[in-house]
Structure formats: C-alpha cells, structure tokens
Amino acid sequence: MKILVTGATGFIGSFIAAEGIRRQYEVFAGVRATSNLQYLPENVATVTLSLNDKERLKQELTALGRFDYIIHNAGVTKCRKKTDFEEVNCGYTRNFVEALIESGTVPDKFLYVSSAAAFGPGDPKSLEPVRLTDTPRPDTLYGQSKLKAEEFIRSQLDFPYLIIRPTGVYGPREKDYFVFLQTVNRRLEPAMGLKKQYLTFIYVTDLAEAMFLALESPYTRKAWFATDGNVYDNREYAAIVKKHLCRKTVYLPVPLFLVKAVSWTLDTVGGWWGCTPTLNKDKYKILRAVNWKCDAEPLQRELGFAARYNLDKGIEECVQWYKKEKWL
C-alpha cells in the first residue's frame, strides 16, 4: 500500500511516517525545497509537492500516480504573517484536494489533520466536553483556518475524506509544550490566569496510530476528536512535569491581562525580527481557555482506539528524550 504524508518533516508528520513504515506501507513524504529532512525516518521516499501552486501540483500528482491513502498533515500552528493561516491551512488544502480531483488521482482515503481548535474550547461554565455534534466556534485565526479547510473538504461530493482533530499533541521533538518543561526545569511554575484549566492531550505515537486505525477502518466522510481519553487540570499537568524533572518550583499565577500584554509585545517584536514567538496573540486565546475537554469516545468505540500513553508515561518519555538530546 502506498501512502503519501504531507508535513512529514515536522513534529507530528515524522511520527506518522514512522508509523507507516512500522505498518509496512510504502511511505512517501511530500516536501518542499526548504524542508529540513533531519527527522524524516529511514525508508521514507521524498517527493516534491507544490501545495502553493495547483497547476504544478496537478502535474506532480499525475507523475507520481495514485496513492492508496493520503494524510494531509502539513500546516502552520503559528505564523509571522497572520494571512498565512488562511493561505497555508485552508488555501493549500483546497489546492491539494482540487488537484487530486482534477488529475484523477483521488486516493481511497484522504485523512486531513485538523485540530480541536477548529471547534474552539468548550463552555467554560458547564465544563461539558466539545462533541462532534456541537456547532464549531473557533476563536483563533488558526482554528478558523482549520475549520474552513474542513468545510471545503466536506463540501466535495463523494470525496473520501476522514478528519482527525487532535487536542494538544506532545512527544519527543515537540517545541511548544517544551517551553513549559524548560520553565519548570528552571524551578518556575507559571499558570495562565487564576482559574483552574481543564486540559486534554494525546501522545504523538498514539495520534499516529489513531490515524492508521481510521484509514484502515471501513469509515469514510467522517471526523473524530483525538485525545488520550483523560482530562487533566493545569496543576496536575504541572505536577507530572515536576515529578519527572525532579524539580520543586515557585508557583506563579500570571493574571490574564499580563499574559495578553506579553503575547501582544512578543508578537509585535517578533514581527520586527522576522520570527514567530511561541507565545503570540493567537496562542494567547488558546492558553486562556479553561475548558479544552473534547469527546474522544467515538474514536475509542468506532476505531477501537486505546491510548498507550497517559500524561504521566508520555511526559516521562519526553523528559528522557529532551535530556538525552540535551534540550534540557
């Protein structure tokens, strides 16, 4: 079976490619000229895909021939130019789907890696999890761009899509949650605002497995949220990180107005210097939300998904990796 994975050079994509190899697929990574191939697993073939240029993409897809499955994982979670959310997450997805249809190379299944942010956080009062049947209310540019991409895919008649909406994904090589680990390692435990936050996570290898369960299932034209099935509050999360880093910390609840001011400043200054800070205006809205619960029960029931990692086991493995690679 031939599978094409876009964004395979990134954090999640490299684990998807590795899971494909483990399952004995012939794995192709869609890359661009500037892609850093450092973490691409062995035995993965690279193919150039011009996601930004539909006509060229059609030629490239025709030359490659039809794949059995495609996982479209390439995307931006933060960007310097805010219009890039729309252009990359939505525009490139549209180019890709149209190029597949127009070149007659639609795969058996096309799995789109969306995000829980496409639905936005759950109700902060009822604290109910976000469910598949809820009306999406993305409150970030990132989430809006992922939802728009989903809507475009779903609007294509008979297009054999699957959509996975992961919550916070963590694991070796991840760089955003890593900032919190670094801070705890320096003996500080910052908290966003004064309210308890309810967080959900999925370990990256579990997410990759869930994607293949979806591809290998009888389902098409269907979406799932992906979490490890547990809910952690922010103090539990911090306690697990502290345990594995063997650190005692100073607890530092930062009022939201201050987090907002810092996010705005970093975003502006980052823009001048041409970099994209981890803490930025869009990320602030994700960080301030109190309810990131989402319903993973359909994923478990319909695909037989059972996370191999809870946060405790996952963070332990991450800390070992970050230490081994001298990130910590």
Ligand X SMILES: NC(=O)c1ccc[n+]([C@@H]2O[C@H](COP(=O)([O-])OP(=O)(O)OC[C@H]3O[C@@H](n4cnc5c(N)ncnc54)[C@H](OP(=O)(O)O)[C@@H]3O)[C@@H](O)[C@H]2O)c1
Site for ligand X (CB under 6 A): which residue of 4, 5, 11, 71?
Answer: 11
CB nearer ligand X, residue 208 or residue 249:
208
Q: Which of 207, 221, 225 is nearest to 169 (CA)?
A: 207
| Contact range with ligand X by CB under 6 A, out of 5-13, 280-288, 301-309, 318-326 | 5-13
| Contact range with ligand X by CB under 6 A, out of 55-63, 67-75, 189-197, 279-287 | 67-75
C-alpha 243/C-alpha 206 separation (Å) is 22
CB nearer ligand X, residue 10 or residue 138:
10
Quote the least distance from Cβ 293 to ligand X, whole Å: 15
- Report, in this order, helix, strand and coil percent for the chain, each rounded to 5: 45, 20, 40
CB nearer ligand X, residue 74 or residue 249:
74
Is residue 294 close enough to count as binding ligand X by CB under 6 A? Answer: no
What ranges make up the beta strands (E) of 128-195?
161-166, 168-170, 188-192
Burial per residue of 278-291, b for 16 or more beta-carbon CB atoms within 10 angstroms, e otherwise: bbbbbbbbbbbbbb
C-alpha 44/C-alpha 77 separation (Å) is 24
Window 179 to 208, contacts with ligand X (CB under 6 A): none
Is residue 5 close enough to count as binding ligand X by CB under 6 A? Answer: no
| Contact range with ligand X by CB under 6 A, out of 40-48, 73-81, 131-139, 209-217 | 73-81
Q: How far is CA 3 from the centre of its chain?
A: 19
Draw the binding track, 252-291, toward ligand X (x: CB under 6 A; -: no contact): ----------------------------------------
Q: For residue 57, give every residue at least 6 positions away whose Cβ sits within 8 Å of its Cβ, in sequence order, or none.
A: 49, 50, 51, 95, 96, 99
Integer Rg of the chain from CA:
19
Q: Which residues bind ligand X (CB under 6 A)?
A: 7, 9-13, 32, 34-36, 51, 73-77, 88, 113, 115, 166, 168-169
